Structure 1
Amino acid sequence: MAPKDIMTNSHAKSILNTMNSLRKSQTLCDVTLRVNLKDFPAHRIVLAACSDYFCAMFTNELSEKGKPYVDIQGLTSSTMEILLDFVYTETVHVTVENVQELLPAACLLQLKGVKQACCDFLESQLDPSNCLGIRDFAETHNCLDLMQAAEVYSQKHFPEVVQHEEFMLLHQEEVEKLIHCDEIQINSEEPVFEAVINWVKHNKNEREKSLPQLLQYVRMPLLTPRYITDVIDAEPLIRCSLQCRDLVDEAKKFHLRPELRSQMQGPRTRVRLGANEVLLVIGGFGSQQSPIDIVEKYDPKTQEWSFLPVSVIVAFAMKW
């Protein structure tokens, strides 16, 4: 029989368990990490194998290379204990209480597994009240996947997100970026207009001057004439600004002069990709010139076509 290499599944885990036992008994430890006056005995080779930070520290000509004690700045002793447990056990306990300290520490010590665990945990905690804060936190620590997930969540839940304090505390540039986005999922532009007005009123004295700039990202021509005349026209902040009134007049013109709509096409007349709108294809003739009695639907969100019941044709005809 030909020789065969056999891989076991327990070897690596057994080594980790043994090294962790040696660490806890302070056996064969050749370096002590000192964090806030607390000492953590460890093995250089284990730290270097798990962390590029420690690998560079112990293999290059740095001052810490041969020192028995190494001071670690920028994290707490409790966080260091969690990180060391991960190094020796490949397990990390992430909680709401420790994740904000754990993630920056993992980035500092270049512990990719802990960083990923923190990102996965934060993604699982996303809700309308915290997604904007998590997005900024992820951006600060270069967690691109988490930042993207939080961004998409804020777009998907826009009407709920703008009701919370995190939105009200955004800087103007951040509000602009959010309301300018095509991917916001809304049934109409009403939540966008109301979000802008509420954000301005949250600190009216300082933010009122920003209203014309923000309002240009609200797609007012897509609002109903009733909403424009009954709500927007009645808003005192709008009535006091000539620039805002010009944008309102543009929306009214879009409704009052349908023949001019082709000339008015632009960012404010473009339906958002996240809007709950679909394209219906009704009627026509088949390959044998026979009438087609089916309805096809295209969903821009999923980019998929599907068939609808014939009853949709009747309902559509009765509506129009």
Structure 2
Amino acid sequence: MDVTNEVHVSNVLQELNQQRARAELTDVVLEVEGRSFPCHRAVLASCSPYFRTMFTSGYAEAKQERISIQDVSGVAMATILDYAYTGCLQTEPDQVQPVMSAARLLQVDFIGYEAAEYMRDHLDVSNCVDVLMYADVLTNSDLVEASKKYMASRFDQVALQPSFVQLPLNHLQPLLDRDDLLTNSEDNVVQAALKWVDFNQEERLQHLSTLSKSVRRSLISTKLCVEIERKCRSTDSKLVYSDSTAQRLGHVRTELQIFVRAGFSSEDYALASPCYDPSTGRLYTIDMPEDLDSCSRSVTVTPDDELYMAGDIVTSREFGIKDRQKKFYQYNHLLDTWESRCGMIESRYRCGMVYLKGYIYAIGGDDTKGTAERYDPSCDEWTSIPPMPHPMSSKLCAVTLDDNIYVISNKGCYSFSTTKNKWKKRADMIIKPLRPQAVTYQGCIYCMDTYRASRVEMYNPTTREWKQSWNGSYGCSTAILMKYGETLYLLTVQYGMGANSNTTFIYMYQPETDSWLEIKDRGSLVAPLAEWLGDGSSTDCLTARMVPKCLGDPDLYEDDHDGGEDDYLSSSESPRSDRDSDDLSDQEDDY
């Protein structure tokens, strides 16, 4: 007979853990920071070479009933013992380093590896310096390199952190040498070096000549050159600058158009979005968070080219019930990854998300509540702001103009004053949109219904009125309003029958005549995305300065892909009359 009891191993471990809890048949007690941990020597020795050596050697501890463990915290020891008896590793974020240190001492490799991976995956501007120095002490070269690369990816922000001045010289200089620093100017590199020196001039001024070798003289301003020379006069050292003329990675960003869709028909497309460079005709891709529901995501970009994304993670629970977890991310240009940030207060599905004067605003997308909130990047925190006067569905859009945020949907148009912290009713569009998309351009708002995709309307904040932008209507299946440089464009797609049969048109706005000029000789202005645009129920176009060499392979979007009316038109939606039955008054009221 040859039979295996599949649950025998787990049952034995469970029984040993229960015996440990009852201090039953245990043969050793570990004393750690005043706490006593009854254990089984065999269990300890089976998962820790440290204990195996201790119990099988001629050491005195081999015969002792109580053993004192030094240089390990009580919490860390409890964590390691729980793992030894269950195979599960659980610890709070602030205990990861103590647990990793204890695992290194006790030679529990799995815990040490997982702790290092956790720290690598949770690097941010506030902890990367500390993680680097901690990893250096433990001689964990992989974590050291990951910390250095992260610091390079957010150099300007890291240099502002109080921990930056704690960097030892042997780590600071290689950091300042890196070509892949994501910094906006070489002056920022110089200022970071001077900040480090000024923290303790008496001891560090002598190192200024060493740090100057990492500064690229041809790229720094005259003012900072003078400041460095002035500081160095009090030493006997001679300044020698780097003779490199290569720009840092952050200096060579390129303005790209980022197309973000919702409602994908292809799983592959959900994992990446195209980035297009109209100046060269090159197409790139930007990775999307793998765990994010592509239908729920909203993206915004700040003036300093930081990208933020909000959305939900959808998980299936027992009996097919779906659970939604709200998520919020910030994009890392160097690493081409999305870093998790503080989640929103409310779960939102395709909310209106905009940046205005240092804050990110998330509005609506919660259907019946109409709530809104504001994110402060400086402290990674969301706070609630007054809700909208009327709840709006996920088919809304938000744009900023002056100190106001305008929200447009088929329920009407409202604005939120960030200075007065108050909502105001605005005039509705002439034809209420079912799926609006809007941009601000030269002090006005331009909006079109991407569902009907037939006309552009313009809102003038001076007259407080909407009017149809000239040229009449456009016969197309879908369209995108987008800005590039100082110009406003309208990209339209007319679906055909079968593969490669869609037709793309591009119009350039003429503000002098309030008209749209079709561009016949388009060159590289329009990306080869006609087929791709047919897949998304909603597409937004953002413009940001990106790092092309860090972006993904565009081949995914160059393959033939069938788009069509069925992908765009939903059987549950159909064009409605110009004025909906739930019409709201155009009178502008405060709320």
Alignment TM-score > 0.5, same fold? yes
Q: Structure 1 pair 198/277, CA: closer, same or farther in 2 (3 Å)?
A: same
CA separation of 1:142/1:94 partners in 2, compared to 1, >3 Å: closer, same or farther?
A: farther
Residue number in structure 2 paired with 1:232: 224
Partner of 2:208: 211
Q: Deviations over 1:116-143 (max 9, x none)?
A: 3332332343211220111111221233
Given that 1:138 and 1:144 are in contact with CA atoms closer than 8 Å, whether structure 2 keeps it comes out as yes
1:87-102 matches, within 5 Å, as 87-102=84-99
For residue 178 of structure 2, the aligned residue among 176, 181, 187 is 181
TM-score by length of 1: 0.71
Higher helix fraction: Structure 1 or Structure 2? 1
Change in 2 beyond 3 A, CA 1:26/1:239: closer
**Shift in Å, 1:179:** 0.4
Counterpart of 2:162 in structure 1 is 165
Q: CA deviation at 1:274?
A: 6.1
Q: Distance in 2 between matches of 1:89 and 1:154?
A: 37
Q: Counterpart of 1:91 in 2: which secondary structure?
A: coil
Corresponding residue for residue 10 of structure 2? 13
- State the one-letter code of the partner of 1:55: R
User: Paired residue for 1:66?
Assistant: 63
Q: Does 1:133 align with 2:109?
A: no
Give unmatched runs, 5+ long, in structure 2.
255-276, 282-522, 526-546, 556-591
Segment of structure 1 superposing worse, 125-134 or 198-207 = 198-207
Aligned to 1:194: 191
| Contact 1:274-1:301 at 8 Å conserved across structures | no
- TM-score (ref. length: structure 2): 0.41
Q: Aligned equivalents of 2:120 and 2:280: distance in 1? A: 42
Pair 267,55 (structure 1): closer, same or farther in 2 beyond 3 Å:
farther
Match of 1:81 in 2: 78
Q: Aligned equivalents of 2:75 and 2:224: distance in 1?
A: 54
Is 1:157–1:185's contact at 8 Å kept on the other side of the alignment? yes
Structure 1 unaligned spans of 5+: 248-265, 284-292, 307-320
Q: Quick check: 162-171 or 90-99, which moved more?
A: 90-99
Indicate the residue corresponding to 2:247 in structure 1: 271
Q: Find 1:110's aligned residue among 107, 112, 116.
A: 107
Aligned counterparts of 1:90 and 1:190: Cα–Cα separation in 2: 51
- Partner AA of 1:269 in structure 2: T
Alignment of 1:292-307 (within 5 A): 299-301=548-550
Q: How does 1:226-265 map to 2 (within 5 A)?
A: 228-229=221-222, 231-233=223-225, 235-239=226-230, 241=232, 243-244=238-239, 247=241
Amino acid at match of 2:247: V
Taking a change above 3 Å as real, the CA distance of residues 207 and 140 of structure 1, as seen in their structure-2 partners, is closer
**Which residue pairs with 2:300 in the alignment?**
none
- Counterpart of 2:83, as a letter, is F
Given residue 196 of structure 2, which amino acid in structure 1 is its aligned partner? W
> Cα RMSD (Å) of the superposition?
3.5
Cα deviation for residue 7 of structure 1 reads 7.7
* Rounded Cα–Cα distance in structure 2 between residues aligned with 1:304 and 1:187: 25
Contact 1:33 1:70 in 2 (8 A): yes
Q: Does the CA contact (< 8 Å) of 1:217 and 1:268 recur in 2?
A: no
Per-residue Cα deviation, 1:166-223 (whole angstroms, up to 9, x for no partner): 1112233332121012332234322211211222233334433332321221112134
Q: Distance in 1 between matches of 2:128 and 2:188?
A: 18
**Alpha-carbon distance in 2 for matches of 1:220, 1:7:** 71
- Structure 1 or 2: larger strand share? 2
Contact 2:187/2:224 (<8 A) preserved:
no
Distance 1:236 1:221 in 2: 16
Alignment CA distance shift 1:90-1:142 (3 Å): farther
Percent same amino acid among aligned pairs? Answer: 29
2:79, 2:91 within 8 Å by CA — same for their partners in 1? Answer: no
Q: Which sits farther off after the overlay, 192-201 or 65-74?
A: 65-74
For 1:271, give the aligned amino acid. Q
Aligned equivalents of 2:204, 2:38: Cα separation in 1: 54
- Say whether the 8 Å CA contact 1:38–1:77 is kept in structure 2: yes
SS at match of 2:71: coil
Distance, in Å, in 2 between the alignment partners of 1:65 and 1:209 is 53
Equivalent pair of 2:217/2:243 in contact (CA under 8 Å): no
Q: How many residues align?
A: 271
What secondary structure does 1:147 align onto? helix
